[in-house]
Structure 1
Amino acid sequence: MALTFFSPTPVTCRLAAATNGLGHGNGDHALEARFVQRAADLSDKSAGFTSPHPNFGCVIATPRGHAIGEGYLYAQGTKPAELQAVEAAGAGLCRGATAYLNMEPGDCHGDHTAVSALVQSGIARVVIGMRHPLQHLRGNAISALRSEGVHVDILGEDLQSKVIEEVVKSCRLVNAHLIYRAAFNIPFSVLKYAMTLDGKIATSCGHSAWISSKKSRSHVLQLRGRCDAIVVGGNTVRRDNPRLTARHGGGHTPTRIVMSQTLNLPEEANLWDTSAVSTIVVTQRGARKSFQKHLASKGVEVVEFDILNPRDVMEYFYDRGNISILWECGGSLAASAISASVIHKVYAFVAPKIIGGRNAPSPVGELGMVEMSQALDLIDVSYEQVGPDILISGFLQPIPDLKPVIPSFDETAAIDPTINPYEPDIIYFHRTWEPYGVFSNFSPHPIQMPDNEGKYETWSTAEHFYQAHKFVGINNLQAQNYVEEIKSARSPEEAARIGRFAQRQHPDLVRPDWESAKIELMYRVLKCKFSTYPHLNSLLLSTAGSILVEASSHDYFWGGRMEGEGLNYHGRLLMQLRSEFLGEHSSSSESIIYQHDI
């Protein structure tokens, strides 16, 4: 069984057996549960190929209980699961059918594709595993479906039974990263470690390669590929000199985060190589300024805190848009993170080895406990054999229950998705499912742009167009291949990954005027996007008087960053475009590009 970062409860086999008695006892509920479980399993299929995002799956079944279509959201900015399932089933067969969803649809502002696909195909009933965990989206799709005459049932509310409880749990697990983040305002955090049977993570001399088996290490790579970032401490950098890549763990490579209070770190380390993936060092304010400059010269970002502690660091990375964090640190930092209540789940690989050693380190340092009654109990514990090792996993904090804050039907209908949850004078945007996420280049809005011959081409998203045009016009077969590869990328994340990788690895293939041309090119693509879609235009104009900040966690040029240290050219261009639409300024980008400093 493949290891998943947010593993659904393995109830599929039991559900299949339960449906053998349809019509007897809870047979109908078992059938409902089986299809929603299938939607949850489907929703998890994109993990490892794109940075974590809300996981959506959809299964459509006839009134007689035959599945006829299914789909899952591959990434933000791609075709919704509901539309994929409708297309797979065929519009004729969908009439009168039931759609089963692991989670309430969460289209970005002005985009009703998921709900419209269900309504227009004639779906009569929708069964939803859980409401959307984000407040500004929760209940919106349910209200929209009901207002169109579609019957909506929500597991755990409208349908209740023991087998349904298990599937509700599955639906919550597969989107645990989003639920925890929404409830606690910090990223969902997992502590991973490998230890011997006698509880050691290294010998007394610090040697730790390798405690776990090759198969377990492969599972860890999968875990890495499913998270936004990996945290280690200074001891891990000094002792192990890790790379912390997601080799063979999927297309997504997480950011590396090093926590070091004194910056007592080596001058040379694998983590200082940022050619393939970025590294962020967080430290105490004023620590080793000369070494900070050394790291900056290597492309490593340094973030200072007045007092370095896991809680403040996680709150900071929450503000930067991170959803999920994997902690692969030593015992001291692990204990500090647990004490700060920022660790939500634990993965412990236990190898059948004994090394002993009075001073050999353990996976978790001092927590101040003196009695066994103080021990922290894991919740929903799972056991799995991985090669010769045993993987024990469980939650330190239960999955938050969203029911107490679920708005009523009337309240949901009144929710305005354009309400700015931030300060009234600054509007942040980054992920497409956030209130202003459609300002992102990753939003699902195809555009038509002229090519060199004046013929119009369709691009899946603004990001596809932007990344491909780094290489357009270069008379080189490899550059042309990159253009085609980016254009056909399944998601804007993939397009960005291909474009950035090619730019780093083959700078000679990037058009020579790129640095001077990219601002004007971005302005053209934004103008096309916001001219093509009236609802996007209206949303942009509604922000008049506010500063727009692209809250990307990695981009200094296009993003504004947390302290305003980024150049925020994406936000500037949108403000410039807003001014042009309002008729306040000239349309020349050169004349006003620098007027919106933040």
Structure 2
Amino acid sequence: MALSFRVCSPPLICRATLASGDNGRNRHANDAAFIRRAADLADTSAGFTSPHPNFGCVIATSSGKVAGEGYLYAEGTKPAEALAVEAAGESSIGSTAYLNMEPGDCHGDHTAVSALVQAGIGRAVVGIRHPLQHLRGSAIRELRGQGIEVDVLGEDFQSKVLEDARKSCLLVNAPLIHRACSRVPFSVLKYAMTLDGKIAASSGHAAWISSKLSRTRVFELRGRSDAVIVGGNTVRQDDPRLTARHGQGHTPTRIVMSQSLDLPEKANLWDVSEVSTIVATQRGARRSFQKYLASKGVEVVEFDMLNPREVMEYFHRRGHLSILWECGGTLAASAISSGVIHKVVAFVAPKIIGGSKAPSPVGELGMVEMSQALNLIDVCYEQVGPDMLVSGFLQPVPDLLPVIPSEEATFEIDPSVNPFESSIIFFYKTWDLYGSFSNFSPHAIRMPCGEENDEYVTWPSVEHYYQANKFVGVDNPMAHDCVEKIRTAKSPEEAALIGRAKQRQQPELVRSDWEEAKIEVMYRALKCKFSTYPHLKAMLLSTAGSVLVEASPHDLFWGGGREGEGLNYLGRSLMQLRSEYLAESSVSAENASLA
């Protein structure tokens, strides 16, 4: 059973109660139940492909029957709203759509809103507005502009039951909300300890404190996270693998924080055949060992000052939404003191080991009185086999209500202002303002599979096409199979994982000219994408005069790099394509003037 988002706090005080009588209470109860269902659906995909916001949609008829539902599987896949109306069919007409979060279409397609409008939805109930400022309120305004009644929990009506339902919507997208508000990933500190508060014996031996059932829950936690982070002492003492082998979801990136790089040459984390490892260290630490790690395929990132805050800000820029901390007490205390830990998950085993030198889960915090203790909020208790699972928040999920304007004060975008005007335009993840420039955006293209093939094939995204072309033309059945697996991958992220893993594990399957051909392959795919979708071409042309930078801090070929040291070939390709379009427009205008 996956960890659930259950609120165990005392009852919340309602701001207002606008509805009265049995009808109002019944309507609120129905709305709350369907919103909770939408939140549960949204949570279904957490961790399957990473990272992406969690969207769910339930369509209910006037009689209270569920006609259709859906959830966003990953970035670059069909919106939850479109899936729900497809499932509901004609029953969508006049029905109510329940959305855990306002649609966040940053690709200029308005696919989610269009699906609801075209299906004939009469009313929409939204749990929370989109947390990202450039998307907040736009879908709600568009739905209302199309004549659909829209109610937003906490704004248009309130009640205790609706407030609790709204909180479930906040929790299911807590990583995205924290990312938007604090500019660090949502971080969960997890540990297992004995009843007397020890995470290991005095010797350092720690296997196993918790039960097998609890360890399975840890695998599930990892599967919901973008990355798992440990300190150097954990690597030396435990030699962990940090996989999600018994849980659902993807396998997270492994991160090791080590200031001195006093790490063993042989460790399970240095095996990157299936999942990557990143070592964060102090600048200049053990250069020879850094080279050794690099030879193993381990990425080393140097910091001027290695501390949890700096590291988390870096992984925020890298696009991570959620990180699970499985470190020892010293690093845990440093992370808590730095203010980057948002939630604590503790497994307490009914065991006593004693020992004055046995380590505890959290090291020195500098507190000398109980009045200084940090209190968890929204605490939940659950028995897992013989263990007790205690979880709660060190920092509440930010409430978006105070920064959302009222309906009367809702601003309108000034049509005279070009939102794409900038000397440098950065883009990276598909939820960014310029997310449609990403090769992971959900825009299918029709391209032949290989330069000498005349048969056109539909590729779900540019990334699908790019990854498959690594293996095109190789006379090997395994290469052909890999191309098909990539083409049919459910999301761009999964296509990328398949292509990268196969390239790393079986380099003999990669076409011999790939390094010379990959820029041209990407350019052809981008040209097809922007030529196929007029609104994307118009967006690209609107950036004339600006430098385009793919802001990936870790991709030094396609991206701009952490400190601008990257080659930025994706940005260069887009600027080249833009120049080509501008030249064509100029020729067309000249020919028109001569006609």
- Give the structure-2-normalised TM-score: 0.92
Q: What is residue 25 of structure 2 aligned with on the other side?
A: 26
1:377 alignment partner in structure 2: 375
Mapped contact 2:51–2:319 kept (Cα < 8 A): no
From the superposition, tell whether residues 442 and 572 of structure 1 become closer, same or farther in structure 2 (CA, over 3 Å). Answer: same
**2:8, 2:378 within 8 Å by CA — same for their partners in 1?**
no
Residue 267 of structure 1: aligned partner: 265
- Does the Cα contact within 8 Å between 1:8 and 1:40 map onto a contact in 2? no
Deviations 1:542-588 (A, max 9, x none): 22333322233543322222112333222221122122222299xxx
2:204 to 206, 210, 213: 206
Q: Sort the Cα spacing of 1:371 and 1:240 in 2 relative to 1 into closer, same or farther, 3 A.
A: same
Partner of 2:12: none
Give the whole-Å Cα distance in 1 for the aligned partners of 2:23 and 2:113.
33
Inter-partner Cα distance in structure 2 for 1:131 and 1:25: 23
Q: How many residues are treated as equivalent by the alignment?
A: 571
Q: Distance in 1 between matches of 2:290 and 2:569?
A: 26
> Secondary structure of the equivalent of 2:143?
helix
In the alignment, the residues of structure 1 paired with residue 509 and residue 249 of structure 2 have an alpha-carbon distance, to the nearest angstrom, of 22
- Larger mean Cα displacement after TM superposition, 508-517 or 118-127: 508-517
Task: Please name the residue that 1:540 is paired with.
Answer: 540
**8 Å contact 2:187–2:323 — kept in the other structure?**
yes
1:219 matched to which residue of 2? 217
The reply to whether residue 512 of structure 1 matches residue 519 of structure 2 is no
Q: Corresponding residue for 1:99?
A: 97
Do the aligned partners of 2:47 and 2:226 also contact (CA within 8 Å) in 1?
Answer: no
Counterpart residue type for residue 131 of structure 1: R
Deviations 1:248-302 (A, max 9, x none): 3335222221111122222222222222222222222222222222222222222
The C-alpha deviation readout for 1:424-468, integer Å capped at 9, x for no partner, is 433222211110111111111111113443122111111111111
Stretch of structure 1 that moved more, 171-180 or 449-458: 449-458
2:138 is the counterpart of 1:140: yes
Q: Where in structure 2 are the equivalents of 1:114-129 lying within 5 Å? A: 114-129=112-127
Aligned counterparts of 2:555 and 2:38: Cα–Cα separation in 1: 34
What CA distance in whole angstroms lies between the structure 2 residues aligned with 1:511 and 1:348? Answer: 49
Q: Which piece of structure 1 moves more, 132-141 or 535-544?
A: 535-544
Query: Per-residue deviation at 1:100?
Result: 0.6
Structure 1: state its 5+ residue gaps.
Answer: 12-21, 586-598
Deviation at 1:395, TM superposition (A): 0.2
Residue aligned with 1:307, SS: coil
Structure 1 pair 337–414 and aligned structure 2 pair: CA distance change class (3 A): same
SS of corresponding position for 1:60: strand
Any conservation in 2 of the 1:76–1:491 contact (CA below 8 Å)?
yes
- Cα pair 2:557 2:566 within 8 Å, conserved: yes
**SS of match in other structure, 1:120:** helix
C-alpha separation in 1, matches of 2:271 and 2:557:
20
Alignment CA distance shift 1:181-1:433 (3 Å)? same
User: What is the CA–CA distance in structure 2 between the aligned matches of 1:295 and 1:419, rounded to whole Å?
Assistant: 43
| Distance across 2 between alignment mates of 1:211 and 1:155 | 43
What's 2:428 paired with? Answer: 430
After superposition, the CA RMSD in angstroms is 2.1
Helix, strand or coil for the counterpart of 2:101?
A: coil
- Residue 78 of structure 1 corresponds to 77
Equivalent residues in 2 for 1:337-486 (5 A)?
Answer: 337-409=335-407, 411-414=410-413, 419=419, 424-451=422-449, 452-486=452-486
Q: 2:285 aligns with which of 284, 287, 301?
A: 287
Match of 1:39 in 2: 38
CA deviations on 1:75-125 (whole Å, 9 max, x unpaired) are 1111111011111011x2211111011010001231101000111111111
Letter paired with 1:43:
A
Q: Distance in 1 between matches of 2:176 and 2:326?
A: 21
Aligned to 1:16: none
Report the equivalent of 2:303.
305
The answer to whether the Cα contact below 8 Å between 2:420 and 2:542 also exists between their aligned partners in 1 is no
What does residue 591 of structure 2 align with?
none
Deviation at 1:219, TM superposition (A): 1.1
CA distance in structure 2 between the partners assigned to 1:510 and 1:10 by the alignment:
53
| Distance in 2 (alpha carbons) for counterparts of 1:415 and 1:115 | 21
Query: Cα gap change, 1:152/1:518 in structure 2, threshold over 3 Å: closer, same or farther?
Result: same
Paired amino acid for 2:252: P
Q: Give the TM-score normalised by structure 1.
A: 0.91
Match of 1:502 in 2: 502
Q: In structure 2, how many angstroms separate the alpha carbons of the residues matched to 1:141 and 1:406?
A: 14
Task: Quote how far apart the aligned CAs of 1:478 are.
Answer: 2.1
C-alpha contact (below 8 Å) 1:56/1:81 kept by paired residues: yes
State yes or no: 1:188 paired with 2:186. Answer: yes
**What is the deviation of 1:144?**
0.3
For residue 244 of structure 1, give the secondary structure of its aligned residue in structure 2: coil
User: Quick check: 2:424–2:546 contact (8 Å CA) kept in 1?
Assistant: yes
| Greater than 6 Å deviation, 4+ residue runs | 415-418
Rounded Cα–Cα distance in structure 2 between residues aligned with 1:506 and 1:440: 27
CA distance in 2, matches of 1:323, 1:415: 32
Structure 2 CA distance for aligned equivalents of residues 546 and 580 of structure 1: 15
Q: Which range moves more in the overlay, 308-317 or 177-186?
A: 308-317
Code of the residue aligned with 2:512 in structure 1: it is P
Q: Confirm or deny: 8 A CA contact 1:70 1:84 kept in the other structure.
A: yes
Give the distance between the partners of 2:524 and 2:6, measured in 1 at CA.
43
SS, match of residue 427 in structure 1: strand
Contact 2:8 2:379 in 1 (8 A): no
Preserved CA contact (<8 Å) 2:85 2:116? yes
Partner in structure 2 of residue 591 of structure 1: none
Matches within 5 A, 1:224-243: 224-243=222-241
